[in-house]
Structure 1
Amino acid sequence: MRVEIWSDIACPWCYIGKARFERGLAEFAGRDEVEVVHRSFELDPDRPKHETVPVVEILREKYGRTEDEARGMEEHVAATARADGLPYDTAHRDHGNSFDIHRVLHLAKDRGRQSALLDLVYRANFADERSVYDDEVLIAVAVEAGLDEAEVRAVVADRSAYADEVRADEREAAELGARGVPFFVFDRRYGISGAQPVETFAQALERAWAAREPQST
């Protein structure tokens, strides 16, 4: 059975949703027969490369909030993440164009290191004082995940590398009706939007698994 997860590393609910899904998967009896594939979705595709802004500023502009209200929104998400056992830093987070990060994640998929890299990118973006929108930070994180530095540098330098794969993921998300992330698709049978409770993911796994079984007569 395959579970596909559309996400963007800029999305805190994707960070939380991945952790909750994995807890649900750990409880699932057929977990060893589940293939998890992470797919690309850009929340801010039009932002120029290397143009980063503080997350609080993005929240203030996007939702028309005051700075204090925007900080409150970020603190609310942080509290949710921490309640799920995830570290979250609200003081230093920035926001930028994630296209290159998605391209490197596709390289990691080819090398069998996609989930490991995604975990490290999430940690750098949400818990550490490291901007993954910086090429050198992205390369360093990819190497930490087990990728070859020269190969990562080559992909980062060539913006056409894995670009088709990123765009294909995004087209598919649109075809499936995904308007935001995280978006989970279970064996192309059931879809779930958002960072749902662990129990919801566990139930979706069971439901999708049962749908694969031949029906008794």
Structure 2
Amino acid sequence: MRVEIWTDINCPWCYIGKARFEQALAAFPHRAEVEVVHRSFELDPHAPQTSRPVLPLLADKYGMSLEQAEAAEARIAENAHGEGLPYLAGRRDAANSFDMHRLLHFAKEQGRQDELLDALYRANFAEERSAFGTDRLVELAVGAGLDEEAAAAVLADPAAYAEAVREDEQTAAAMGATGVPFFVLDRRLGVSGAQPAETFTRALEQAWESRVPAPLIPVGGGGGVGGGDAQACGPDGCELPQR
């Protein structure tokens, strides 16, 4: 069984959702027969290459004060800490993620996609240094087990894996996805948002027990594929947990 997960490194709920899904997968009796593939979804394809502090970005996007943005980040951090994830609230930045997605496709070919994705999430949400910039991405790629020269060559060529990123995004759009994280099990069941681990457990069980061709259906609430009541990030921003 294949599980495809559309995410963006700029999305904190993708970071949290990955941990929740992996918790469910670890306890799934057929986990050895589940292939997980991470796919690309840019929340803001027009974001600048130069990174910017996240708190002013949040304040501008949601029309809130810096203090309110800081409180919102702290609430997301609480959710991350609840899953055992490190999170430096308000001390991260954001920038265009296209190069990250290209590098993840290269890592997939090398069998190191999951390792690189974890490294990118840690760098973006749990480390003081920025996760963006060519030199930093090469450093993270090497830490994830990739060849330094090969990773640098990918980043130096704007066309390398660009089509693969676009194909992922077009597929997500065709399925009706408007935000991430977005999980698709065997191209039949869709789970939107950073759902609780129990929801992912039910989805894995349902997908395993009904392995016959069928239309894609949503799991975990909502009114269609890409819906749901779990937190997610979309083109207009990330859902903020309430007090």
In the alignment, what sits opposite 1:46?
A: 46
Partner of 1:99: 98
Q: Give me the whole-angstrom Cα distance separating, in 2, the residues matched to 1:36 and 1:58.
A: 32
**Paired letter, 1:210:** E
Q: How far did residue 57 of structure 1 move?
A: 1.2
Distance 1:92 1:69 in 2: 15
Aligned letter for 1:145?
A
Q: SS of the residue aligned with 1:191?
A: strand
Residue 31 (str. 1) matches residue 13 (str. 2): no
Question: Shift of residue 44 of structure 1?
Answer: 1.4
Q: 1: distance between equivalents of 2:35 and 2:111?
A: 12
CA distance in structure 2 between the partners assigned to 1:146 and 1:171 by the alignment = 29
Equivalent residue letter for 1:57: P
Which of the two has greater helix per residue? 1
Mapped contact 2:73–2:90 kept (Cα < 8 A): no
Q: Secondary structure at the residue paired with 1:89?
A: coil
Map 1:35-184 → 2, pairs under 5 A: 35-49=35-49, 51-184=50-183
Partner AA of 1:7 in structure 2: T
2:9 aligned with 1:6: no
1:52-109 residue CA offsets vs partner (Å, 9 max, x unmatched): 1111111111111111111111110001100110000124200000000000000000
Q: Deviations over 1:36-60 (max 9, x none)?
A: 00000011110222x2111111111
- Say yes or no: does 1:195 pair with 2:197: no
Question: One-letter code of the match for 1:160?
Answer: A
Amino acid at match of 1:66: S
Count of aligned positions: 213
Structure 1: unaligned runs, 5 residues or longer: none
Instruction: Give the residue type in structure 1 aligned to 2:106.
Output: L
1:131 shift after superposition: 1.3
Matching residue's letter, 1:179: T
In the TM superposition, structure 1's runs of 4+ consecutive aligned residues that sit over 3 Å from their partners are: none
Which runs of 5 or more structure 2 residues have no equivalent in the other structure? 213-243
Question: What TM-score do you get using the length of structure 2 for normalisation?
Answer: 0.86
Partners of 1:91 and 1:197 lie apart in 2 by 24
The Cα offsets for residues 9-56 of structure 1, whole Å up to 9 and x where unpaired, read as 11000000001000000010000000000000011110222x211111
Kept in 1: contact 2:74–2:90 (CA 8 A): no
Q: Does 1:185 align with 2:179?
A: no
Between the aligned residues of both structures, percent identity stands at 59
Q: Distance in 2 between matches of 1:66 and 1:179?
A: 27
